[in-house]
Copies of this chain bind each other. A is one copy, B any other.
Amino acid sequence: MELVKIYECLCDLTRLRVLHVLARGPLCVCHFQAVLAEPQVKLSKHLAYLRARGLVSVTRRGNWMVYALPSAPPPELRANLACLQDCAREQPVFRRDLARLERLAPTLAETGPGCCGPATRPPRRARTAAPGRAR
């Protein structure tokens, strides 16, 4: 893996945060939304970016896409991810993410990384008029 490609992935804060929490275990996009408090599009795009460069892997699980760090990362990646963990330890942004991840932990343990438990799902009110219909 090219060293520069790795650093290109690391030079965006959102991606750093993604990789940082992924070290704790696989996550799906809706969990990323909860943990990082960022909009879905933004996360999807950054995850696609990381995926295209081989920094994360994906597996579909029903409706959910579960992202994870590669099972056997090349040494340069391993080294840099370790370094990131080390550097992030002190910084508030990353600590906040971890805190929100912890708060999610029970749900995660219960349902696995591939889905959002019913608790996290919106109320689902009876509906008729749906705005933003496609085509």
A16 within 8 A of B: yes
Secondary structure type dominating chain A contacts: helix
Q: How many monomers of this chain does the complex have? A: 2
Report whether B4 and A12 are in contact in the complex, using a CB–CB cutoff of 8 Å: yes
- Of the stretches A39-47, A72-80, A124-132, the one at the interface is A72-80
A71 within 8 A of B: no
A119 within 8 A of B: no
Partner of A79, one of B11, B76, B83: B83
Report whether B13 and A4 are in contact in the complex, using a CB–CB cutoff of 8 Å: yes
Contact with B along A57-69 (1 / 0, CB 8 A): 0000000000000
Q: Which of A74-108 contact B (CB under 8 A)?
A: 75-76, 79-80, 83-84, 86-88, 91
Q: Please give the residue numbers on chain A whose beta carbons come within 8 Å of chain B beta carbons, in ascending order.
A: 3-4, 7-8, 10-13, 16, 75-76, 79-80, 83-84, 86-88, 91
